[in-house]
Amino acid sequence: MAVLESDKLLLLGQSEGEIPVIMDLAYSVFGMSQFEIIQNLALPDFPFRSDLYKRSIFLDKEFDFKKNQKQPVHFGVLHSNVKYILFDHFLTKYGITKDRYITLVDPKSSISPSSSLGKGNLIQPQSTISAMCELGFGVTIKNNSAISHHAQLGDFVNINPGVTLSGFVEIGEGTEIGSGAVISNNIRIGKRSFIGAGSVVTRDIPDDVIAYGNPCKVIRKNERWDKVSAYLKTKNSSTLETNRSMNTVGKVE
């Protein structure tokens, strides 16, 4: 079993659906059973039915980041736009860079030796990543997904359960693919878009849209990223590390 410098994992943000999934994976990969959940907003707690894990919840301003510099970090949320805001918040306020995020790969998944994963990735059971794929920072691949050869997945991409990507598919930063979608060879899906569950994508899809159906068609603008624009407007984001790679986010209006 792999070993880390600390036996406690810091989870940034709290999603009821995602936290137990991440805990199970951190337990399977690193034997971790202690988790400190750091929220940037005070949110109500949710029922938690497991005695296996010790869980403490803090507001970010109550937590001593200096004292806990060695603790590895992961996201405690799933959606791309929320991950983006949390990454930005903890980077600019507490200096938590991409290097602090660990990647969790379930032992029951298969990763081709010629593929590269990014920091802060989460790869769930029974997923396959074939030859020559490149995954960016904060990418999540849910159960039973097949990522065929030469796929390029940008930062904060989420692949929901049972998705099939054929060869040479490119998915832009912040895009989410709904459960069971099938993407044909050589398709390029833009940034910050959302592909509906069960879609069959046979043509390229642009940035910033919701698209679904068989064949998959653009339905409307993806408003999920508006909250990122609103968030960025409330702060001085000129020094953001992510702005260099996602410099159009602030223009989604």
Ligand X SMILES: CC(C)(COP(=O)(O)OP(=O)(O)OC[C@H]1O[C@@H](n2cnc3c(N)ncnc32)[C@H](O)[C@@H]1OP(=O)(O)O)[C@@H](O)C(=O)NCCC(=O)NCCS
Residues of this chain that bind ligand X (CB under 6 A)? 142, 160-161, 178-179, 194, 196-199, 210, 212-213
CB closer to ligand X, 17 vs 113: 17
CB closer to ligand X, 20 vs 250: 20
Q: 189: Cβ–Cβ under 8 A, 6 or more apart, which residues?
A: 169, 170, 171, 172, 175, 177, 183, 195, 201, 204, 205
Residue 120 CB, nearest distance to ligand X (Å)? 19
Q: Is the peptide bond before 215 cis (omega within 30 degrees of 0)?
A: yes
Token code pair at residue 81: 């736009």
Residue 218 CB, nearest distance to ligand X (Å)? 11
Q: Which residue is nearest to ligand X (CB)?
A: 196
Return d(Cα 24, Cα 27) in angstroms, integer.
5
Residue 124 CB, nearest distance to ligand X (Å)? 10
CB closer to ligand X, 81 vs 199: 199
CA 228 to chain centre: 15
Determine whether 150 is an active site residue: no
CB closer to ligand X, 23 vs 96: 23
Concatenated DSSP letters of 8-51 = EEEEES--TTTHHHHHHHHHHHH---EEEEEESS---------S
CB closer to ligand X, 4 vs 218: 218
Residue 121 CB, nearest distance to ligand X (Å)? 17
Return d(Cα 101, Cα 80) in angstroms, integer.
16
Integer CA distances (angstroms), 250 to 24, 151, 194, 203, 233, in order = 35, 27, 18, 27, 8
Residue 177 CB, nearest distance to ligand X (Å)? 8
Residue of 87, 84, 178, 173 whose CA lies nearest to 135: 173
Which of 74, 79, 149, 150 does the annotation list as catalytic?
149
Catalytic residue positions, numbered: 149
